[in-house]
A and B are shown apart, each in its own frame.
Chain A
Amino acid sequence: MLQLENLTASYGAAPVLQGVSLHVDEGETVALLGPNGAGKSTLLAALTGTIARRGGKILFENKNLAEMPSHEIVQHGVALVPEGRLVFAPFSVADNLRLGAVRLKGGARALRERYDHVFTLFPRLAERRAQAAGTLSGGEQQMLAIGRALMSAPRLLLLDEPFLGLAPLIVIEIRNSLRKLRAAGLSLLMVEQKLDIALDFAQRAYVLIKGRVVLADSTQNIARRADLSELYFALATSSPSAESTA
C-alpha cells in the first residue's frame, strides 16, 4: 500500500532522512521506533509534504506522493495526526472536524457519514461538539486530532506519538479506538517512543537512527531482543565512519 524508496529530506541544509526505505501493507500496523532526533517525525512530515523532500519515492497505491503538495496528499487517502495534536483551539469541536473534511468528496451525505463515524468512535467528542477545542482535556484533544484526521476518510493513518503525555486510562481508551479502526481495515503507521506500547500494538517495526533504518523486523522478534535499549544507545553513539556511507 505504502512504499518508501530511498527517501531523503532535510531541514535547511542539514539532511535528516538519509535514504529511508520501508513499506506498510494493507491493513497493517507498523511502528517507527528510535531515539530523539532520529528523524521519525521528519519522516511523517516528508510523507505528508510539510517539509521539502530531496529525493526518493513515496509510492502510495501506485501514485508517487513525493511530487505532491500536502493538500493533494490528503485527498489521496493519507492523513496525519501530528505531534502535539495541533487542534484549532478557538474553534468548536465540530468546526475542527469540519476542517478535517475540507478535501472529502461526496457532498453532505459523505460528510454526515464521517461525523457519525467519528462520534461513534469517540462519543465524548459528540458530547462536546459545541465546545471550544482549547478547553478540552489533553486526552480529548488527542481524540479530536485523530477524529479530525479521520474526517478525510483516509486509508492510511499516520500517528506521531499519539499517547504522549496522556493518563494511562486515556491511553487505553484511545488504543481501543485505534484497534477498532484497524479491525475495520485502516492501515496505521505510528511513531512511538515507548517500546512496550509500540511492540504490543504494532505488527512490524522499523528502528530509525540518525535518519536511517537500522532494523526492520516483526514486533514479536524485536520484543525478544532483550538488548533493544542498548542497541538504541550503541547505534546512536557509534562512530560516524561506520554510519556515513552515503
Chain B
Amino acid sequence: MQDFLELAVGAAASGCVYGLLALAYLLMIRPTGIINFAVGEWAMVAAFGGFLLLSKLEWPYPLGMAAVLGFMLLVGWATERIAVRPLVARGAPLIAPILALLGMLVIFREIVSISFPPDPHPVPYAFGIGRLDFGLLGGSYQSFFIIGVTLLVFAATWLFFERTLAGRMFEAVALHRRAAALMGINLFRVTALSFAGGAGAAGLAGLLVSPNISAHYQMGVPLAIQGFTALVIGGVGRVEGALLGGLLLAFAEQLTVRYAPIPSGFAQGVPLLFLMVFLLVRPTGLLKARA
C-alpha cells in the first residue's frame, strides 16, 4: 500500500501531462474533425522555449512560462493558417489538412534538430527540487505543480464550454458545422482559435514535463502517442474525458512498470496496447458525448 501511494502522485502528474495533450487533440478535433499529430512537436517546441528562456536566459519562471505559452498560441494559430485553412477553403477532404499537419510535424522537428545540438537540454523545475508530503501521499514539488496547473486548465476549459457563449459557439460548430455557419458563427475563426488553444495546451504539457525528461528534439512522438491514447480512452465527446483518459493511462503504465513481471522496456508498449484494445472494444471512449 505504502508502495502504491508513493507511486500515486507521480502517476497522477504523468496522467495530467497526458490529459493536457489529449485536451490539445480534443480542442482541435471537436470543431474541425481534424486529428493533428503535431501536438507532440508542439510540446517539444515549448520545451525548447523553456530551455531558452528559463535555463539559458534565466528569466523568472512565471514570465518565461507566460512567454512560452503566448508563443505557442501564435504557433498554433500560424499552423492553422498555413496547413489547414488554405485546404479547407478550397473544399479539400478532411484527410488533406491531416496529412499537411503531418508535414508540419516534420518541419517543427527538423527546425529544432538543426537549431540545437542533439543532446538533451535541461529545463528547470518551477519550484526547484523538493518533496512535499501530505500524510501518506507524497511527491516532488513539480508533480504537485503539474497537477495543480492541469486542474486549473481543465476547470477553465470546462467553464468555457459550459458557461460562455463563445464556448457554446465552439460546441455548435462541433455539432453541425453548417447550422453553426448559418447562425453567423465564423468557422475560420473558431478553427484558428481551436488550433491556438490546442497548441497552448500541448505547449503547457511540454513545458511541465520537460524538467523530468529534458528537452530533446525526439521527445514529441512518444508524447503524441500517449496523448492520443489518453484521448481514445476518454473519448472525444467531453473535456473531462481527456483528463480521465490521461490518468487511467498513466496509472496503467506505472503499475505495469512497478508490478508486472516484464522488463521495463516493454512498459513503453503499454499505451499502444491500450490504444489497440480501446479502438477495438470501445472506439467511442469511456465518456459519451451528450446526445
Task: Name the residue on A nearest B186 (C-beta).
Answer: A71
B129 at the interface (CB under 8 A from A): no
Interface status of A5 (Cβ within 8 A of chain B): no
| Count of residues in B whose CB is under 8 Å from the partner chain | 22
Query: How far, in Å, is A94 (CB) from chain B's closest CB?
Result: 11
> Which among B24-32, B59-67, B169-177 touches the partner chain?
B169-177
**B185 near A: Cβ within 8 Å?**
yes
Query: Cβ of A91 and Cβ of B168 under 8 Å apart?
Result: yes
Determine whether the beta carbon of B169 is less than 8 Å from that of A69.
Answer: no
Residues of B within 8 A of A134 (CB): 291
Q: Report the minimal beta-carbon distance from B20 to chain A, rounded to whole angstroms.
A: 25
| Pairwise interchain contact B179-A102, C-beta atoms closer than 8 A | no
B183 contact from A52, A90, A148, Cβ within 8 A: A148
Q: Which one of B168, B186, B290, B291 lies within 8 Å of A69 (CB-CB)?
A: B186
List the B residue with the shortest CB-CB distance to A73. Answer: B184
- B181, CB-defined interface residue at 8 Å: yes
Q: Is the interface of B mostly helix, strand, loop or mixed?
A: helix
Is there contact, CB below 8 Å, between B184 and A90? no
> Do B184 and A74 have beta carbons less than 8 Å apart?
yes
Closest to B182 in A: A80
- A74–B183 touching, CB < 8 Å: yes
Query: Is B91 an interface position by the 8 A CB rule?
Result: yes
B21 to nearest A CB, angstroms? 26
Q: A129 within 8 Å of B by Cβ?
A: no
Q: B165 on the interface (CB 8 Å rule)?
A: yes
Docked complex: A64-122 residues within 8 A CB-CB of B: 69-71, 74-75, 79-80, 82, 86-91, 95, 98-100, 102-103
Cα A75 to Cα B184 with chains together (Å): 7
Binary A-proximity of B179-200 (CB < 8 A = 1, otherwise 0): 1111111111000000000000
Q: Is A99 a contact partner of B185 (Cβ separation < 8 A)? A: yes
Give chain A residues whose Cβ lies under 8 Å from the Cβ of B180. 99
Does A48 sit within 8 A of B, measured CB to CB?
A: yes
Q: Would B184 and A86 count as touching, CB distance under 8 A?
A: no
When C-beta atoms are compared, the residue in chain A nearest to B174 turns out to be A88
Q: Is the CB of A100 within 8 A of B183?
A: yes
Chain A nearest CB from B71 CB (Å) reads 29
